[in-house]
Structure formats: C-alpha cells, structure tokens
Copies of this chain bind each other. A is one copy, B any other.
C-alpha cells in the first residue's frame, strides 16, 4: 500500500484545485484534540516519530498519480500536476511522551498549501490513534504503582500494524515488555511470553506439560496454572520447579478467576515450597481499573499483563482530533459553524508548573515560569534532530507525570487540567471572528 494514496479523496480534489488556482502560499495546519474523552485526565503525545518518517519520505510517484486518476474517474493527465509533489515544509510539534491537554496542538505543519493539505489524512491516522493508545497505557502504568506491566495486546488490536504500534506505545510509557516478537526486535523491547492453555491440553497431564516445557527451555520458565483447577495447577507448578531446582526468574501465570484471591493462595503455596523467588503474573481482560483494584487490595501480583482493552484503548478508541487550517498566506483563519469553532493562527503551548498550561500564539513571549512545548522538529522537509528514542520519550513522560496534579492522575473519574488561552490569542480570535461574520453577513 502506498502511503501517498492512503488518503481521503478530498485531499486530492482540493489540491488539484489549489494547483490550478496557483495557491501555493504557506499554510499552517494545527493538529489538536478538541476534548478529552471521559476517563482521561491527560493525553500522552504519540505518533510523531512515524509522522516525521512519513513526511520525510512523502513523494507522489507515477503509480500514485494513476491511482488518484482512477479514484477520480479522470484521465491521468488531469492529475499529472500532482506528480513529483513532496513535502518540504516545517513541522513544530510536542515531542512524544509529553502530556497534552484539550485544545493543545500536538503538531503544526507549515508548508505550501498543496503539500500541507495532501498529508492531512495520513498524519491524523498516525497521531490520533497512537495518542489514544499511549494515553490508555499510561493510565495502566499509574495504576500499577511501580509494578511491571507487559503488553499482550497483539491478537486483539486492529490488525497487525496496530499491534506493532501498541507495543511501541506501551514501552514508551514504561511497560517492561511485550509479547509481540516483531515489535520486540524492531523497537528493542524485552519480549515476554509463557504458554497457552492449549499447550497444557495437548499433554496427558498438567505436570507432563510443565516438565516438557522446562526440557525445551532451560532458562527461566513461566507456567500457566489455570487450565483445569488453579490451586492444583499452582501445586503442580511448585512441585515441578522444586524438583528441577528452578526458581529465580521463573513464574506462574493466572489468567482467569478471582485474580486477587488466587494470587494470595498461590503466594502462600509457593512460599511454603520455598519458592519465594517465583513471580506471579496476572492476565485476562485487565485494564487500569482492574490493575488499580488489585494493587489497592494488596494482591501479591508481581507483573500485570494487559492486552485487549489497552491495545484498542477500549473505553475511548478514538480521539476527537482535528487538523485545522489556522493561517493561510499570512492571514489567520478559523471555522465558525456550530460548536466546532477553532482558534486562528499558529500556536504555542506554554507549560507552567503542575501542568498549568497557556495556549498562546506561536510568536508571543512565553509567560513567566513556563516552558514552550512545541519544538521545531522538521525544516525544509528534513528532520532537525536525529530520530528520537523510546528512552527519551519515556523520560519526558515520567517527568510530566511527576508534575501532574493528583486529580488528573487518579484512575477513577480523573479531572484534566484546563489550559487557559493567552490574552493575545483570545483577542486575535475575536478580531478574526468579527471579520468573518461581517463578510458572511455581506453575502460574500
């Protein structure tokens, strides 16, 4: 699939018109999330690395032109003006891992209008969903309160590519591992995995299964103990581990039932068998609410494996994100209809202590004791910096989370900080609104 034609048709119809009208002046588009979904006290900026990768490779080739023509049911010559179009604009963006709030631009693209427009759909498809998943995963990290988490989401994500992204985003916010082999090797994440119930079922007994597994895997092993009867499974696992003299690095996995109660009984049994080093891993439909409840109840679970609900960001699987034109040819623009009013002009987010943010104009003086969030990450179509690392993004995430107010951090009914709008942005919004309303009333 071409990244160029993986776009909405209207980008093409608009850009053909811009080229015909010779409208190639610089345009700035701002990508932001209008409102946070319920159950979110913050968002984690994500998707920038793949977005920059996309922009730096963007080039409309001959086969793309043919596809566009086919989709438009127009002769190839009509679409030929798009041929060779690439992206040589500027991108200012919030680095991955930083927390962002409602209305704050995640990135702003400034480029000749046709370029800035043609990349809209693909940019949104990267940034929206990745920010949604990273934000969900971040809440699991908060819920786990220091205990390690691993990502088991691949099978339930929206296709294998979404699974790759989920593994990366979980690692970005501090997960200790992923079950996804391709993601583990591509992103340098520790790979994690045990065995399925089917494995146990193919042997004559649970014990036979555990022993066979240990024969193939001389290092640390984790036994799944809930295929038939969990308490018996734990006892069998303890016997096999003791017999084989295994312990440190090994574990048992609970995947169903009352995980807290089962973990307590398992801990007691393992300790009684002298297997204090054997870890208890819990999985099975976990999300931040379930993890928080288990932690609160003091369940002796060492590792939480989360999957489905995190990888799909199940309670908020999309964000109300927009890529809005805010300036064209030096003129600030905005949309007025109904509830979807947007503020004009290129912007900056000034972050104060405790995430007291001010959304202002890109060119205004930073308020005292604030730090600007958006940085120039691409100029002339080229990255200004070497590719970011997951470790750097994670460090930014951890620093912002440490500054987050308690009511935004909490798992139940979090309250996000509300950014204020700077006086200058507010004044400009009023001016532009009046100008547009006057023009509309005049029937233009």
Contact = CB atoms under 8 A, between A and B. Distances in A.
A2 B182 contact: yes
B71 A126 contact: no
A150 B178 CA distance: 37
A77 interface: no
A201 B328 contact: yes
A160 B161 contact: yes
B202 A122 contact: no
A325 B17 CA distance: 57
Contacts of A152: 8
Given A162-B162, A185-B70, A17 B199 contact: yes
A232 interface: yes
A279 interface: no
Contacts of A20: 212, 215-216
A314 B107 CA distance: 25
A215 B19 CA distance: 12
A289 interface: no
A34 to B, nearest CB: 11
Interface string A239-262: 000000000000000001100000
A430 interface: no
Interface string A197-210: 11101101111000
Interface stretch (A223-231, A360-368, A421-429): A223-231
B194 A10 contact: yes
A14 B162 CA distance: 25
A329 B198 CA distance: 13
Contacts of A443: 232
B185 A5 contact: yes
A319 B309 CA distance: 10
Contacts of A155: 8, 120-121, 124-125, 128
B68 A164 contact: no
A395 interface: no
13 contacts: A6-B181, A7-B182, A14-B196, A17-B212, A17-B213, A71-B191, A74-B219, A113-B202, A120-B196, A125-B155, A161-B162, A201-B325, A205-B444
Given A8-B180, A160-B161, 4 more contacts: A17-B217, A204-B444, A206-B440, A314-B317
